[in-house]
Structure 1
Amino acid sequence: MEYSIGNFEQAVSQFYYTDAVLQAQAHQWLVTAQTSTNAWSFVWELLQKERSAEVQFFAATTLHMKIMKSWNEVPCKEYEALRKHLLEAIFNYSVGPKIVLNRLCIALSAYILQTMPGYWPNAISELLVMFQSSDFQGLAPDRRVWILLEVLTVIPEEFESMNMIQRHKATVRHELEKTTPQVLSLVQSVLAEAEKNSETNGSLCNNITTTTTTTTTTTTITTNDNSNEILCQAVRCAITWLHFGISLIDCDQLATLLVRVVIKYSINSSSTEAAELGIEALDQMLTHPDASKMPSIVMNFIQRILCLKDIINHCQDCDNQDLMTNLCSLFVTVGEAHSQLLLRCLMSEMRDVSLQLLQVILSCTNCPGNYPTQETCSQLTFGIWYIIQDELINLEPVDYSSLLPILGPIYQELVLILLRKSQYPHDSTEFSSEDKETFRWYRQDVADTLMYCCNVLHESTLEILLTQLQNTLISAKSAWQPLESCLHAFAAVSENIDENENKYLPVFFTVLQSLPFDTLDIHVATTALDVVGSYATWLDFHPDILGRVIPLLLMGLNNSDAALSATMSLKYLSRECQTELKPYAEVILQTSQRVLSEGKMKQDECVRLMYTVGKVLSILPLDSILQYLDNLLLPCVDQIKTLLEQEPSVTVKSNLLVRMKMLGMLMGTLDVNVKLIDEDEHNNSGVESKTDHQVSSHGTNDQCHSSQSQPVFIVLKHLMHVLNAVINKWSTDTSILQAVFSVFKHGVTTLLEDCIPLIPNIIDIILNSYKRLPTASAIDLAKQISLLMGRTSPHTQHIHNLLLLITVHTLHLAKPDFHTGGDLKPYTDVVELYLQLIATLIKKNPLLLLEIEHFNISDVFQFAMKALMLPELPTVRAAVGLFTAVISQSREYDALLMCVQIHGEELVERLLRCIGGEASRINIEPLSDIILVLNKKHCDNISRWLPALLARPDFPSSRPSNQTKAHFSKMVLKERVNKRKLQEIVREFSLVCRGLVNTEYAAQTSASRIATPDL
């Protein structure tokens, strides 16, 4: 379609006012028009005032895009004409539409960046002069100021977004940095004049006087109107230019003016936009990295902004959360940026300034109301409390001792504040479901901050919390929120408490035991149970306390709402205090058996409870274990058999899965090979010798165990036919198969060598299942068995059969006659696990594979080459792992050497195809590992293969020249050590092959370029 005015008007109208299909067609045509060289001419016709606003905006946008992305289409001789047309267009649209004027100002800023400093070296200075020239005298003074500020504001923004050659960008940045004082001087003049004439009305700008000397340019603006719009634009301009950095000494008056803007427009104005912008400008000024070079000036500026703290109270009274958030953020970010300086000043004459800033931040943490419905500021402050404590504990001991008396009271007050802030609202309807989730994350942040407090205060934190807990129990019986908050705080600091602490925690657990759980709110009850689990490590060193908490946890099992917390805490206790739970084993097991039989707990809670059951059973005599197992497992097995008799359904599957998971959890935790601590010896040795009696997974009891005395062996043997029946019934359901194989995996992990008698049966089950449906879980179990048994077990032949048949059925997935047509995409998880299996065996036990009759490593090698083309990165990494394993070991084993020599060139060809564009870009980086290992182990071969392959016409792509390919080959063959450098070489060559060099994508993803002439 012809690029005529009528067609443009029709296309723009179609884009804005028709349905989605016509919009897409119009959009495609307009984009094509924008990228054409004709755009440089038709934009001026479309910018005529008689056109519609939509057409004008399209023209202005096109002009901006052409200047930004197609600057090479403009001859140098036309630069002046283009600038003239731009300025005329800005003049014509000075009164609107604003959206068009804004886009034209952005286009002018892009023009300035493209032409400075080569063609237009003093662009900013001349721009200031230009806006007082006769060409612009027809504009109202306030419009001239606004347009000038708008152009200046977007210049830094355009600089960050434009795709420039690195050298040119560095030059332009240097020019902008030199111009920054001049621009900020302009902003300062606008703000000063606005303040001076704030009580008068009239024209904002009477004149702009620019005086240029040999060294500097100063700008004076005379204003007679307090225009909020221009004031805001001036502050925005300051924000963008402060990004380039400027000496704080030169910002002294500007900082003062900005503080006054914030004060004035926070309190005496209906709109706080100017105040919010002023806060952002102050933030940019004080947190710029260069500011840290002038510590005394920084502290002077901090002292100056402290007067803004009074506005926080005003914001609370007016319920202006946005402004309050901005103010809190200013104080916090300044404190974070200069945390070391603040600590140094606490030991100097500037101590009061630092203390005042910390107190302001503390007040922000303590802002009234509930988060997130009534306030959003407190969460902003948590980071600085971490930074301050981190800086403090890393100080030299002398400095630490000096600062602790100063910062200690602040952190003590912070603990009390956090106790209040973490309380649930008294009105439960205040929170929506989204608010509840936000508050849950907020409480986690509170918990983390309490840990920071504990790092500073140490055990004094417990003293504060215990005092608050006792006071809460005395004075706040009607409200559960303060009590729950105290318990939550105790749980938060648990990781920081020394295991030898015996002053406060015994008292705490006595108080905990005395709580009336029957009448407690469920929030308090669950938090109390969570606290017990969080102190599992401490309880291991204080087993006398266990008698106070075990009844609470078992009580929690009987409450469906508290079962989650109870099972979690029991899990932690059984993991950390396993041998100490022997006196309570009977009551734990009996209660667990009862609640499991009642069926009131959720599925995940049942599975988790089996962890505790397994750990507790492990410390009992064998006959007791078997007795409990009969009571626990026989009902479970009967339920599985009943489920197998039913037709498959969602409910049957769900019930079957939870029982498989319960069995798997029990298999993984029931291990009698635990080195038990003699009670007499333990009582005599005390806590100090606890580490000498740690549980070992390969330890032995006072009497040695055979496989027949391992309960898991007995259970697994008994369950073998039931598990096999499950697999046969659910042979095509991957989630059921995964659950069953997980039972076997946990059992084998627990038994280790003791599982040898069961290996033939397990292997038969794996193979029967894998023949029907290849699954990753079956391969995972096969991998575990293969690594465990090795080459010297009595079942090596069974292992060989297992690996061979898995290989045959896996490789068959890639055959064209397979029901997938050879497409491996539906089986990427199987392919990944299989390649990991073979790679692991080649690394750890290559002869186990190579001694298998009829096993051909070349077939696996070729299969892995197909896997390189799959889209999933983990699968590609698994293939790369196999290749690197084979190539690394190839000089040691003839079969592997022959494989590399026969298929190595084909592999290099496949790698080049992937690099050239046949594989996804995200999968390119791992391929460098193969090239690197080939360079190390087979440098003679790859030095022949690579140049020969790259010599082919249009291979691996038609885009790189012969010179580029030769350069790439030379660089690759030279790099045998530096993996990162080789990755960069491969990445850059891939960009060349894909035609992405010098694109925005290439600029974002590449730090270097291949230095060849045609690039």
Structure 2
Amino acid sequence: MKCFEAWVSIFRGSDLTPLIEPLIANLDPSSLDLFDPTATALISVLSSSSLSDGAGPRMLTEPLLLWSAHWGSIVVQKTMEAGGTDDVGHALCKLLVGLGDHSTHYLASKIASTDPLEPAFNPVAAQTGGALPTKGQLVQTFLRLLLAFSAMPGYYGVDEEESEMTLGFWYLFQEELWSVNVPTKDGERRDAAKEKDMWAVASAVYAELVAALRIKVKWPPLRSGWAKDQVEKFQVYRRDVGDTLINAYYVLRNDMLAFYVNDNVACLSVPEESVQWEEIEASLHCIMSIQEAVPVEENEYLARLFSPEILGRLPTTKHIRLRRTTLALIGSYSSWFTVLSTPDLLMGVISYVAAALPEPALCLRAADALRDLCDDNRVALAPHIAAFGELHAGLTGVPDTEKAKVLQSIASVIQALPPRNQIPPIETIVTPVLSKLVEALQTSRELPEEARILAIQQLHTLTGITKGLTQATEAIMLDEEPALESMKDMEEARKDPRIVQLRDAITEAICSCVDLWSTDASVSDALSELFKSITALPADTNLISLPPTPLLQFVCNAAQRQLTAVWLTLANMLTVQMDPPSVYPSALRPVPAPEARVVIQNVTESLLQSSLQFFCAPGVLEANPDIVHAFFDCMEKIAFHFVSIFYNLPQESFDGLVHCAIAALSLQERYSVVGASTFLITFINRSHSSDDLGDAKAVIVQRHGPEIIRAILVGFAGVAPRSAAPNLVELLSTFVTKYPTETKLWVSQILFADDFIPSKADSEAKEKFIRALFSSRTLRRTRDAAQQFILVARGLEGSSFGYSSVTM
């Protein structure tokens, strides 16, 4: 059997078919030494041979189904009587799963078939006798066997290992059911009656599966004595069951929700001391698992679930596991509450969540659930802002790590108020955070580590508040009158002295944090997240949004102390905000204001000074690809939005920038090459298309054109990584299309120079490359010519590896 299993993949179907009958004849459950290797060999036939993927239904599938109906039923019955499986049962389960995976289409299409069975041979003829079952009866018997293993008594990972093995089949089976056509005998029309029968049987099967899996995911009573690895294994199993339940939902739909909800009602109908809370938790876990499949529309069963009938009767003390699952369930269905016509049900759920916030074991889940509820239902909750004021007042017992999520939740509700009405509640939630941040700054000398941790927590909290105040809509229709009116109201509210003073205090606190801790990685990450959330394009501005100008200055100061990718990435983002799109409908993009140009001029000079000074040390470019990439990303954004800035730089700064880009083109780190290439492409294109620059826009070509072209060609010949070839090609194409005469001269001179790096490309290959490059100045022809030259120069011409490694 082992030898056969090893060679099974080489047999043709006609050679393998005669071996099926003697193989099945060896499936003797009374002898494990014979049964296990034979079952394993048959699994290889089902999965790895020329008869895999559903082939051989009469020769392979139907005889195995007949064998399973007789011998499989006997083994399963003995297993259930014994209360657990043995080695024979385990091997049988593997065989049944292998048969199910192989014959999924057969099983789905024949699940309700009344056609007589006509297998190539009957492996249990002597035992069965009489008439053969129909194909539908045989399939249903097989499904019952698999259901028995799915519902194996005991806990997975502790008492049995088989139930998990069957989960993948139920996913494949559901997928196949949807693709089955049920034609009439003429083969032209679907038979509605047969299709109805098919789904009736399928629904009954999945209903049994759903009921079984609810029992299987039930936790044992507390203090069960499980080891840590058993707990973790069972948690993974519960997640896998959740994936299977999604497929069951697509078959059963609301009947599945009805089963779980009614089951919970029944469990809660007994006296409280007799309630089986583990069973209720299991049902809630199952409902939570199918959330992504449940449509966001009115649903009577979900309404019952979150009503006083069920949620209102769940415990609010002790029972940590049940309450944790309930909170996760509420958070997962947060978007469903948006379809409710009244907020009464939602407010009841909010109250349940808020009650769990002070408990350390539940605070994390409660804060997450509250954040999701408020973010998805901010408009419905806005009239109840007073209740959230009370919630804010009672946050004394909530850890700072979770308080940020709670304040984000409250801010989400505040955002739905008219801008003028947002001012008092924003003051209420932001002022204490700022006070703690100032406290951290003041105690930084006496208690440096404690102050740093406190500052990070308050920065995260400010970030959460600003995220909550950001509008929930992903896109705002600016040409709609209500949107424009809302923006005008926001502009007026931002002028209120209370909010102006609050923004000034935030700015001052940020400035102090940057001055004190900009070289600390954790603080700089926290500041980065705050910068991203507290700045916004005009359409997304809220009351505490800060303008980019002062933040850019903070970034430059921090970069001068220690250049990192964090500060360069922030400079990139803030540069874009200095040239925002117009908030009003317009066919033309507005020209950046003169004040913005002055700011970006200073920012560019500052970042260039600190960056070029950092990069000039030997080995720095090679050792810091993240900083190199972030630097050129930032320069690329400045080139796109403010290209004229570069032409006002001191000559040594401009030359230093271009020389740095040329050096980066020869690095082995792909992202460094990509960043430098993208910057140069954008810089050349924007310069060439700018009418304001006049003759000055040719300075990069006149001063640095040959150096850039040499770096590109050297990269082609072997210096640059092959994965960066498309970016180098695009840069070369930019030169070819914008400056064809100069580029042709430079390419010829560089390729045939004595100091060009050694490569496999001879003079003929170089001439061919030049002719192809300039015969038609299109990106496609440039790409084809460069690709062929790279293959030749690197000695990869004619190799499949070489071609695939430079395919563009």
Give the distance between the partners of 2:481 and 2:150, measured in 1 at CA.
43
Q: Deviations over 1:179-211 (max 9, x none)?
A: xxxxxxxxxxxxxxxxxxxxxxxxxxxxxxxxx
Give the distance between the partners of 2:736 and 2:68, measured in 1 at CA.
63
Q: Which moved more, 1:833-842 or 1:722-731?
A: 833-842
Give the distance between the partners of 1:429 and 1:471, measured in 2 at CA.
26
Preserved CA contact (<8 Å) 1:556 1:563? yes
2:369 alignment partner in structure 1: 569
In structure 2, relative to structure 1, the CA distance for the partners of 1:304 and 1:239 (3 Å cut) is farther
Cα distance, 1:884 vs structure 2: 3.6
Preserved CA contact (<8 Å) 2:39 2:91? yes
Q: Deviations over 1:505-527 (max 9, x none)?
A: 22111233322423451110011
2:530 alignment partner in structure 1: 743
For 1:328-727, list aligned pairs within 5 A: 328-346=93-111, 348=113, 349=115, 350-393=135-178, 401=196, 403-426=198-221, 428-474=223-269, 477=274, 479-510=276-307, 511-542=309-340, 543-595=343-395, 597-598=396-397, 600-601=398-399, 603=401, 605-620=402-417, 625-644=422-441, 645-647=443-445, 649-671=448-470, 699-700=486-487, 705-709=492-496, 714-727=501-514
Cα distance, 1:581 vs structure 2: 0.9
Letter in 1 for 2:452: K
Preserved CA contact (<8 Å) 2:760 2:794? no
| Structure 1 residue 254 corresponds to structure 2 residue 19 | yes
Give the distance between the partners of 1:305 and 1:888, measured in 2 at CA.
73
Give the distance between the partners of 2:537 and 2:497, measured in 1 at CA.
9
Give the distance between the partners of 1:255 and 1:978, measured in 2 at CA.
58
Match of 2:577 among 765, 777, 788: 788
Q: Which has the larger radius of gyration?
A: 1
Cα distance, 1:563 vs structure 2: 1.0
| Structure 1 residue 283 corresponds to structure 2 residue 46 | yes
1:177 alignment partner in structure 2: none
Cα distance, 1:575 vs structure 2: 1.2
Q: Deviations over 1:37-59 (max 9, x none)?
A: xxxxxxxxxxxxxxxxxxxxxxx
Cα distance, 1:573 vs structure 2: 1.0
In structure 2, relative to structure 1, the CA distance for the partners of 1:315 and 1:709 (3 Å cut) is farther
TM-score, normalised with respect to structure 1: 0.65
For 1:792-803, list aligned pairs within 5 A: 792-793=592-593, 795-796=595-596, 797-803=598-604
Q: Aligned pairs, how many?
A: 741
Preserved CA contact (<8 Å) 2:403 2:461? yes
For 1:752-763, list aligned pairs within 5 A: 758-763=547-552
In structure 2, relative to structure 1, the CA distance for the partners of 1:906 and 1:463 (3 Å cut) is same
For 1:855-874, list aligned pairs within 5 A: 859-874=656-671
1:773 alignment partner in structure 2: 562
Q: Deviations over 1:700-755 (max 9, x none)?
A: 48786343249876533222222211111113213312322432332212766788
Partner secondary structure for residue 530 of structure 1:
helix
The CA RMSD measured in Å over matched residues stands at 4.2
Preserved CA contact (<8 Å) 2:791 2:803? yes
Preserved CA contact (<8 Å) 1:667 1:750? no
TM-score, normalised with respect to structure 2: 0.80
Cα distance, 1:484 vs structure 2: 0.7
Preserved CA contact (<8 Å) 2:633 2:679? yes
| Structure 1 residue 815 corresponds to structure 2 residue 616 | yes
Preserved CA contact (<8 Å) 2:267 2:275? no
Q: Deviations over 1:347-377 (max 9, x none)?
A: 6423334434443433332233322333333
Letter in 2 for 1:525: R
Give the distance between the partners of 1:539 and 1:591, measured in 2 at CA.
20
Partner secondary structure for residue 735 of structure 1:
helix
Partner secondary structure for residue 795 of structure 2:
helix
Q: Which runs of 5+ in 1 are unaligned?
A: 1-230, 676-692, 1011-1015
Cα distance, 1:302 vs structure 2: 4.7
Preserved CA contact (<8 Å) 1:880 1:927? yes
Letter in 2 for 1:544: D
Cα distance, 1:615 vs structure 2: 0.8
2:477 alignment partner in structure 1: none
Preserved CA contact (<8 Å) 1:533 1:568? yes
| Structure 1 residue 241 corresponds to structure 2 residue 5 | no
Give the distance between the partners of 1:329 and 1:858, measured in 2 at CA.
69
Question: Structure 1 vs Structure 2: percent identity of aligned residues?
Answer: 19
In structure 2, relative to structure 1, the CA distance for the partners of 1:421 and 1:880 (3 Å cut) is farther
Preserved CA contact (<8 Å) 2:316 2:355? no
In structure 2, relative to structure 1, the CA distance for the partners of 1:451 and 1:980 (3 Å cut) is farther
In structure 2, relative to structure 1, the CA distance for the partners of 1:463 and 1:428 (3 Å cut) is same
Give the distance between the partners of 2:34 and 2:56, measured in 1 at CA.
35
1:189 alignment partner in structure 2: none
In structure 2, relative to structure 1, the CA distance for the partners of 1:562 and 1:286 (3 Å cut) is same
Q: Deviations over 1:908-961 (max 9, x none)?
A: 433444455545566556545445655665666665555654546796445566
Give the distance between the partners of 2:415 and 2:268, measured in 1 at CA.
40
For 1:841-990, list aligned pairs within 5 A: 841-843=638-640, 845-847=641-643, 849-850=645-646, 852-854=648-650, 859-889=656-686, 891-893=688-690, 898-900=699-701, 902-919=703-720, 927-931=728-732, 945-946=746-747, 949-951=750-752, 956-958=757-759, 976-977=779-780, 988=791
Letter in 2 for 1:419: R
Q: Deviations over 1:197-247 (max 9, x none)?
A: xxxxxxxxxxxxxxxxxxxxxxxxxxxxxxxxxx533x23433424xxx22
In structure 2, relative to structure 1, the CA distance for the partners of 1:579 and 1:764 (3 Å cut) is same
Q: Which moved more, 1:426-435 or 1:768-777?
A: 426-435
Cα distance, 1:847 vs structure 2: 3.9
1:108 alignment partner in structure 2: none
Cα distance, 1:461 vs structure 2: 1.5
Q: Which moved more, 1:643-652 or 1:539-548?
A: 643-652
Preserved CA contact (<8 Å) 1:389 1:453? yes
Give the distance between the partners of 2:481 and 2:86, measured in 1 at CA.
54
